[in-house]
Amino acid sequence: MNVRAPHVLSRALLYAAVVVVVGTLFFPVYWMFNTSLAPQDQLYVYPPKFIHPNATFAAYAKIFRERPIARWLANSFVVVVLTCGFSLAISVLAGYSLSRFRVRGAGGLGYLMLASRMLPTTLLVIPLFVFMSSLKLIDSLWSVVIANVTFILPFATWMLKGYFDSIPRELEEAAYIDGTSRLGALIRVTLPLAAPGVAATMLYSAILAWDEYLFARTFLNTTSAWTITVGLGSFRGEYITFWNEVMAASLVGTLPIIVIFLLLEKQLVGGLTAGAVK
Amino acid sequence: MSTSDQALQPAARAAGWLRSLRGPAAFAYLLLAPAVLTLAVVVLYPVMTAVDISFRRVEIYSPSTARGPLTLANYVRLFEAPAFWQATRVSIAYVIISISFALLIGFGTALLLNHRFRGRTLARTLAVLPWAVPPVVAVNVWWWILDPSYGLLNWILLQLGVIAQPVNWITQTGPALASVSLVTIWKGYPFFTVMLLAGLQAIPQDLYDAVAVDGAGRVGTFRHITLPALRGVLSLATLLSVLWVFREFTIIWVLTGGGPIRATETLAIMTYREAFANFRMGFAAAIGMVTLVISIVASIFFIRQAGKEFY
């Protein structure tokens, strides 16, 4: 419904509504940033300050000094790269196959995708924990990588199928006539065209893997083995809460996501709705 | 004669299938094989193990321990436990509260951001950003906003005169459920926004032009064009969101841990607590299986109701 508001007044109302609504919904992110810059003596005061005149980055320096934040970020980075690398390599093939060939058994895959969203993660984590223990993978980042594949792989496959669907198959058929093999056509003709879709899928998968908490919390016990989300979840339950430090650490843990999200800006709608809207 | 024909049919079908393995079908299966094998190892086998554990008397399970006989003890104990029915009630309340508000906010923002205006892309990005914020971070931020002594929410409500005393949001039973729902709504509405924006863009402009000629007003257009066109997207978005909220772990676990006195303990939280805090894995697996069955039954019912509008 792309309505062109005719009057100056309704334009102004539209802008006012957008500013109020988006401003309110985005406010918690601003509040995290604002508090992270607060000097220690400004934390426990009423009324709260919406802008700090004596803003300081001291909290950032302190969290990097006192907690292994850099280590947690590095661990998360390793987990994300391995999870996405492995999942994408497999899901590109599967997504292409589902998009191009109607083989027996593939039709039920849509329902299988839905079924995978019904499986309670807190149930799946029980046998996974048992296996990780017996494979001596507790405290190893591999345990989290393997567990993340359980939800990244179906997600990426489904999203990539949607992207392949949007690439005309005539191009491959032309390549066949020229004598290119099926695999050759996939690698040299289709994949280059699908590159933006593969990149978007990679970024979405990276967000999901970065945000993961349950598996990492269960499989990684030693503080130095934690990912950033486990570290950020550990502030609850400490005796005194220095809000500027909690917010600074939280913002540091969110920055990579914000960067990815801005990269995705143009494909925002395409990614989340993959396979859902025709 | 005819019986032997029938007996031959499966064999003939199998032979046909084998023949089809040469050519494109073989290539198709070959490409699918790594994904299918991986999921069989990391999802299917663990799920089968979980089913098995749920029928055994096991505390801390390991593949080397001798398994006892199959038993229904975990399920019997489960249905007799008041904590299970409490967790079921909490799950239902949590899902209904979170989804209805997330849907309303998501629908509102989608309609608003579908207008053409300068800066629309930025507005959309900012509005949808909470989807990507790590759940743990969302909890930390709201934990600070909900802080009873110096949090922003109490300050605003005190200024407006809505409350006379600061509310202990996270440590009182009623407010605690509202708090976890609040964080869930903030994380969950962008999915509705994005899905409905995509749905709105798929509605052809001709339809609007046609009803404009007929002299339909805004409300009429919304009721007769927009809403019916969005039905499929809305159903799918609602189903996926319900399944997500029903399984949600991180938001509740980090914010309240399921407390106070189990006021925010959903079935997902109860499963985890029994397995990893009380070390009763057989019992925990039984709760998880019941959760899974509820999800499947509810989804089938929902899909029947919503019609065959997706897949």
Q: Could you tell me if A110 and A230 lie in one domain?
A: yes
Q: State the pLDDT confidence band at A65, using cuts at 50, 70 and 90.
A: very high
Total domains in the fold of chain A: 2
Amino acid of residue B57: R
What gap in Å lies between CA B238 and CA B191, rounded to an integer? 9
Look at residue A109 and tell me if it is in a domain: yes
Boundaries of every domain in chain B: 2-54, 73-306
- Which residue among A98, A126, A235 places its CB closest to the CB of B288? A126
What gap in Å lies between CA A185 and CA A191, rounded to an integer? 9
Q: Could you tell me if A207 and A107 lie in one domain?
A: yes
- Which residue among B27, B199, B284 places its CB closest to the CB of A277? B199
Q: Which residues of A touch B49 (CB under 8 A)?
A: 127, 130-131
Q: Is B152 on the interface with A (CB under 8 A)?
A: yes
Q: Could you tell me if A93 and A143 lie in one domain?
A: yes
The listed CATH number (3.40.50.300, 3.40.50.150, 1.10.3720.10, 3.30.450.40) that belongs to domain B73-306: 1.10.3720.10
Q: What is the CATH number of the domain that holds A104?
A: 1.10.3720.10
- Which residue among B109, B117, B142 places its CB closest to the CB of A28? B142
Q: Is B199 on the interface with A (CB under 8 A)?
A: yes
Average of per-residue pLDDT across A47-72: 90
Q: Could you tell me if A244 and A127 lie in one domain?
A: yes
Given a cut of 50, whether residue B98 has pLDDT beyond it is yes
Q: State the pLDDT confidence band at A269, using cuts at 50, 70 and 90.
A: low
Name the residue in chain B with its Cα closest to that of A110. B311
Average of per-residue pLDDT across A227-243: 87
What gap in Å lies between CA A191 and CA A157, rounded to an integer? 14
The tokens of B294 are what? Answer: 């509820």
pTM of the model: 0.88
Q: Could you tell me if A21 and A137 lie in one domain?
A: no
pLDDT the model gives residue A173: 82
Q: Could you tell me if A23 and A157 lie in one domain?
A: no
Q: Is B149 on the interface with A (CB under 8 A)?
A: yes
Look at residue A3 and tell me if it is in a domain: no
Given a cut of 90, whether residue B24 has pLDDT beyond it is no
Mutation site for A-interface testing, chosen from B29, B133, B303 by largest number of A Cβ within 10 Å:
B133
CA distance B258 to chain A (A): 14
Average of per-residue pLDDT across B118-129: 88
Look at residue A180 and tell me if it is in a domain: yes
Q: Is B64 on the interface with A (CB under 8 A)?
A: yes
Q: Could you tell me if A246 and A133 lie in one domain?
A: yes
Handedness of CA B137, B139, B141, B143 (dihedral sign): negative
Q: Could you tell me if A50 and A83 lie in one domain?
A: no
Q: Could you tell me if A27 and A155 lie in one domain?
A: no
B275-311 pLDDT, tens digit each: 999 999 999 999 999 999 999 998 888 888 776 544 4
What gap in Å lies between CA A76 and CA A213, rounded to an integer? 11
CA distance B65 to chain A (A): 11
Average of per-residue pLDDT across A126-153: 94
pLDDT the model gives residue A272: 52
Q: Could you tell me if A40 and A77 lie in one domain?
A: no
- Which residue among B29, B31, B226 places its CB closest to the CB of A1? B226
Look at residue A2 and tell me if it is in a domain: no
pLDDT the model gives residue B27: 84
| B38–A250 CB contact, under 8 Å | no
Q: Could you tell me if A25 and A44 lie in one domain?
A: yes
Name the residue in chain B with its Cα closest to that of A100. B28
pLDDT the model gives residue B5: 55
Q: Could you tell me if A115 and A28 lie in one domain?
A: no
Which residues form the domain of A255? 68-272
Name the residue in chain B with its Cα closest to that of A44. B150
pLDDT the model gives residue A273: 52
Q: Is B282 on the interface with A (CB under 8 A)?
A: no
Cα B38 → chain centroid: 24
Given a cut of 60, whether residue B110 has pLDDT beyond it is yes
Under a CB-based contact definition with an 8 Å cutoff, are residues B262 and B92 in contact? no
Under a CB-based contact definition with an 8 Å cutoff, are residues B185 and B105 in contact? yes
